[in-house]
Amino acid sequence: MNAGLPHEFWSRSIEYFCVAHAITTPCPAHPKETPEAKKLKEGKTCFEVASGEPFTGYKIPYGALVWYKPPKHRELPAFDPRTYPGIFCGWRIDNGYKFRGVHLVLDYEAVRANKQGCEKLIQVYTSELVMPEVFIFPLEEATNAQLSLFRSEADLPKIEPRDALPLDENAPGPVKRIRKAYVTLERCIRFGKTIGCKGCERIAEGVRHTDECHARIGRLLEEEKIAKEAESKKEEKPVEIVDTSMHVALKEAVKSKLKNIPIVEAEPRESKHLAPRAGKAKPENENDFWAYDDQKGAWKRVHVRPVGNDCPFEVNEVSSKRETIWSCRGKTSTFGDDWQEMSPNRRISSKSWTGVTYFYPLEKPTNVKARIIAMTCNVQTEPPRV
């Protein structure tokens, strides 16, 4: 009755009373209820028992003057006011008796001018509404003045909009929303259902999942992400540590061999085998070279040029077994023979070919010694440079 609203808005007052009674009245306990049910209701309002959470909205009387921001205040002209006076009419309660911070307000200027559609409620969030310290009921004051002065109609005073919300210091700050982890069918199959979650039990029906279910899925996804990062780090190849002593030995051996090799100035030879093919990159080594294969435990001669070369080792240092993997005209073949019984310069093919020839030593040398011997052989067999 103190609101002063006309009878067209009395239906709104019934909705307001139902919600206001639920958020302010302690929940009664029935005499026949179990002790557990009575303990659950102890110290809680009807709204808390029904929704499972306390009420977080403003408790404002019906018909009180409030200040609010309209829903599309950002679309207003640059210098227009952003705050409008309104008449408080209640709260919006969603399905499941949930309150999500939405208040219901009537536009004061529309009610004052009795515009068409003035009874339409405006939904305002908590962050865009200010509850005054002293409640004023402009419609009730206008009605009292009408009765005392014997006027035919109530004369509501005009209230100008404001540039900003009043009482900015008491206005609540914006609440940062924390996004919950999505609970999908694939994740329920992968991680299993959450015990006590109706959304997992009836996932095909679109039932909402509990907060505990969202938190559990989010925690499992984070643990899965950490495990994948740790596994990817394990798969990374370790950095190869270079043995400096081996490099020093190789450098000294090469220097000693180069001192005994005379430098001969020769004219460049033109050979059809040395001419690079069009469209192919130039090889890293232009000449044949020696190397040691750790996996096979054998000396190998890499044939870069399609020509033959003699073995530089002594007969008694390697076995008679020889294996050649050769390529010619896009085809690769393997040829094995006994090179000590037959001619060591035996031709595999009458055509030009490239490949690798393996010679197996009788005593396997160490890696450092093998690389030194291979480097020495390569320096000795390398043709003189101009």
DSSP result, 169-183: TTSPPPPPPPPPPP-
pLDDT at 272 over 60: no
pLDDT at 165 over 80: no
pLDDT at 159 (0 to 100) = 78
pLDDT at 180 (0 to 100) = 86
pLDDT at 221 (0 to 100) = 92
CA pair distance 320, 342, nearest whole angstrom: 10
Residue among 315, 313, 316, 284 at smallest CA distance from 299: 313
pLDDT at 240 (0 to 100) = 54
pLDDT at 5 over 60: yes
Residue among 133, 135, 156 at smallest CA distance from 144: 156
Residues 16/92/47/28 CA torsion (nearest 10 deg) = 30
pLDDT at 283 over 90: no
CA pair distance 91, 100, nearest whole angstrom: 9
| Listed range (56-60, 101-105, 301-305, 334-338) with the worst mean pLDDT | 301-305
pLDDT at 92 (0 to 100) = 92
pLDDT at 263 (0 to 100) = 47
pLDDT at 4 (0 to 100) = 66
Average pLDDT of the chain is: 75
Higher-confidence position of 306 and 252: 252
pLDDT at 155 over 50: yes
pLDDT at 157 over 80: no
- Quote the percentage of the chain above a pLDDT of 70: 69
* DSSP result, 122-151: EEEEGGGEE--SS---HHHHHHHHHHHTT-
pLDDT at 83 (0 to 100) = 80
pLDDT at 271 (0 to 100) = 43
Total residues found in the chain within this entry: 386
Q: Which residues of 92-117 are buried (b: 16+ CB within 10 A; e: fewer)?
A: bbeeeeebebebbbbbbbbbbeeeee
pLDDT at 303 over 80: no
Whose structure tokens read 């002594």? 314
The full set of domain ranges for the chain reads 7-148, 185-228, 247-271+283-381
**Candidate ranges 219-228, 276-285, 297-306, 373-382; pick with highest mean pLDDT:** 219-228
pLDDT at 82 over 90: no
Angstrom CA distances, 320 to 36, 133, 313, 340, stand at: 94, 106, 12, 5
pLDDT at 247 (0 to 100) = 59
**Mean pLDDT to the nearest integer, 184-210:** 87
pLDDT at 295 (0 to 100) = 77
For residue 323, count CB atoms less than 10 angstroms from its CB and return exposed for 0-12, middle for 13-18, buried for 19 or more. middle
**Mean pLDDT to the nearest integer, 280-288:** 55
Q: Report DSSP state, residue 83.
A: B
Higher-confidence position of 107 and 353: 107
Higher-confidence position of 175 and 375: 375
CA pair distance 166, 226, nearest whole angstrom: 48
Give the pairing type, strands 98-107 and 122-125.
Answer: antiparallel
Residue among 57, 192, 184, 191 at smallest CA distance from 131: 57
pLDDT at 216 (0 to 100) = 92
pLDDT at 352 (0 to 100) = 75
pLDDT at 317 (0 to 100) = 77
Higher-confidence position of 371 and 223: 223
**Mean pLDDT to the nearest integer, 309-318:** 62
pLDDT at 102 (0 to 100) = 93
